[in-house]
Amino acid sequence: MTAIIEATGLSRRFGDVHAVDGVSFEIQEGSICGLLGRNGAGKTTLMNLVTGQDFPSSGAVRVLGEDPVENARALTRLCFIKESQSYPDAYRGRHVLAMAPRFFPHFDATLAARLVEDFGVPVNRMIKKMSRGQRSAIGAIVGIASRAELTLLDEPYAGLDAVARHIFYDRLLEDYAAHPRTIVLSTHLIDEAADLLDHVLVIHEGRIEIDAATEDLRGTASTLVGRKADVEAFVAGREVLAREHIGGIASATVAGLSGDDRARAASSGLEVTPVSLQQLIVRRTGGATPAEEVA
């Protein structure tokens, strides 16, 4: 495997804020990597550093084997779609699609036209008059149809409805299968996107909290629910990622249960359920457990 992005001790500070705080990681060629984390975790800052739109305060990042800053050769090989993408005032949707091949040498205009139909984007409308979801769809279309060697999508579907998001997942995966490349996707909709992701990088307060294959993360944690005394007895001495109780009923999320552990939990009257990727990340990044996840 070849690393397409290599970060070494990469940091970006804004005054006192350590937006990215000494991270080291690699993203392998030909994978779809989820860049996940809470608001303000440092995802956009990291993507800006990777795409040469910002300078590190210290450390280094290499993209396609090169320093991306002011490096036209490296930058023509990547596509970065931002949620906050701004366009010239007079631009209509079709202008963006007409310009795209100048920036992205592998841009497929036929695919773009099909995606316009799929998403139902009014490409003759001025972009500033489009809804948020329609503007996001334009970005998603360019991101998929660019077929860049490295595509970074920063919250590409903010404002897209559930149907449009599923069109996005389906078309992205379909085109990725036919034209393998590397995709880095930042999203808050973790469970929705989980099936797409080969690898997960979770950033929390500027640092990498999880760097793992999605497959390896699945089933790494389970939630036990039952009488408080039984739950506490079972989890004694184990790593507990989260615990809650309501009256005499408690739940605890624990890492790494073996088959024997599960059998023992069941015989103690505890209900054992696997933790989803989203729940796992919420718990590992210190978030409160949403009430509906406890039941």
Ligand X SMILES: Nc1ncnc2c1ncn2[C@@H]1O[C@H](COP(=O)(O)OP(=O)(O)OP(=O)(O)O)[C@@H](O)[C@H]1O
Q: Does 55 bind ligand X (CB under 6 A)?
A: no
CB of 77 to ligand X, least distance (A): 23
- The span of 34-42, 113-121, 193-201, 254-262 binding ligand X (CB under 6 A) equals 34-42
DSSP state of 92: B
Sequence-ordered alpha helix ranges (H) in the chain? 43-50, 72-75, 93-103, 109-119, 132-145, 162-178, 190-193, 214-217, 228-235, 259-267, 277-284
3-state secondary structure of 110: helix
Q: Does 204 bind ligand X (CB under 6 A)?
A: no
Q: Does 65 bind ligand X (CB under 6 A)?
A: no
Cα distances from 186 to residues 32, 100, 170, 231, in angstroms, run 11, 22, 17, 35
Q: Does 44 bind ligand X (CB under 6 A)?
A: yes
CB of 187 to ligand X, least distance (A): 9
User: Of 177, 118, 121, 183, which is closest to residue 146 (Cα–Cα)?
Assistant: 183
Greatest Cα-to-Cα distance within the chain, rounded to the nearest angstrom: 68
CB of 153 to ligand X, least distance (A): 13
For ligand X, the closer CB: 47 or 111? 47
Measured N-to-C along each axis, helices 132-145 and 109-119 cross at an angle, to the nearest 10 degrees, of 150
For ligand X, the closer CB: 41 or 224? 41
Q: Does 40 bind ligand X (CB under 6 A)?
A: yes
Pairs from 236-240 (Cβ < 8 Å, separation ≥ 24): none
Applying CB under 6 A, what is the total number of residues that bind ligand X? Answer: 11
* Position among 10, 32, 36, 41 found at the interface with ligand X (CB under 6 A): 41
- The span of 33-41, 71-79, 108-116, 211-219 binding ligand X (CB under 6 A) equals 33-41
For ligand X, the closer CB: 19 or 50? 19
* Position among 14, 103, 163, 249 found at the interface with ligand X (CB under 6 A): 14
Q: Does 110 bind ligand X (CB under 6 A)?
A: no
